[in-house]
Chains A and B, each alone.
Chain A
Amino acid sequence: MAHAAVSTRGAEVGNGPPATIERPDFQIVPRAGLPIVAIVLGLTIAGIAVNKEWPLTFLHVVGGAAWTVIDLFLGFVLGPIIGRLSIPARVEFTTRLMPKMVLIMPTVVTVTLAAGWQLATKLGNTQTSYPLHGWIVASYIVVGVMAVIALGLLEPANIAVLVEMKKPRPNPEVIERLMKRFIYTAGATGLMQVATFVIMTRLAAG
């Protein structure tokens, strides 16, 4: 596998030549994952077209579980760990994790929301006459806030980190700034996921 060098800031302020860190070559969007994404999105379209309760519940629950678990794990477990890793370890971990996140997160979010909306419509939960309609609207608001944070801050930071790391001489300052943004926003959406748990369990309890 090809490698490239990342110079470290600490080394640049010293007297010697800038130290470099080997980073594995990687694809910003892993092409091998694209067929899997296409299959998952195809299944979601089929689920919506068929409009049966079981496939829609399956897609919504599996997608939602993946979304919440990844957000919480990244925000509260992996995030603090990444922050304490040495720069070479952080670079290697980032080049392996972030390209996968480029495909996984938009896919699970799209599947969860599309299947969830269809399921709620089929069950009549989106009607204003539904007794727990207020909780449904609360879920829209929570998802809306998460969407703005994820689309406006998290996703652009994810892509920008990967593009920076792809450069022949990546700037560690830029990577650090963008990674901070990524980790903080992942933590914020992780916190919002706690609200999702409260709402979804309340709706499931009826």
Chain B
Amino acid sequence: MSTRRLPPVTQVGMVSLALIVASGIYLSAHIPNHVSLAPAVVLLSASALLLAGNLVSLARVQGFPWARFLEIARWALVAYVIVAGMIEYAFLRNHLSGGPLVVLTLSLVVFAVHVPILIGFTVARYHES
């Protein structure tokens, strides 16, 4: 099995997903009442930072099999964009608007990007060149 040292992409990705889930639960628990967006924005920002951190740390790995990663991640991206699109449609169908819509949409973007990264990474880490 490959002994290449890799950054903790899966663990960081799970924390990132947990943060946007927490943000979504916070907003969903208060909608349609007025809700302060600050906690949700903080959680979303932290989640997006972890996503960026994951990408940067992966980019610094010597000899990472990017071709394999992209081969898997792009199809996973297609699938999760469809899932995120359906959730977004449910929000729009229920006339969600303003700040909560922006925060939830950006959360869906982080979700739709980060899950394919985790799938692509898990596959690529076992790739033997």
Contact = CB atoms under 8 A, between A and B. Distances in A.
Interface stretch (A14-22, A63-71, A77-85, A159-167): A159-167
B19 to A, nearest CB: 10
Main secondary structure of the interface of B (DSSP, over half): helix
B40 interface: no
Given A114-B87, A140-B29, A171-B1, A148 B21 contact: yes
Given A106-B79, A140-B25, A155-B115, A126 B13 contact: no
SS class, residues of chain A in contact with chain B: helix
Interface size range on B against A:
35 or more
Contacts, number: 98
Given A126-B31, A128-B30, A48 B121 contact: no
20 contacts: A41-B86, A44-B86, A110-B83, A114-B87, A118-B93, A126-B31, A127-B32, A136-B29, A137-B25, A144-B24, A145-B21, A148-B14, A148-B18, A151-B118, A152-B13, A156-B10, A159-B72, A160-B126, A163-B72, A164-B126
Given A44-B86, A110-B86, A171-B128, 7 more contacts: A41-B86, A126-B32, A144-B21, A148-B17, A151-B118, A152-B13, A160-B123
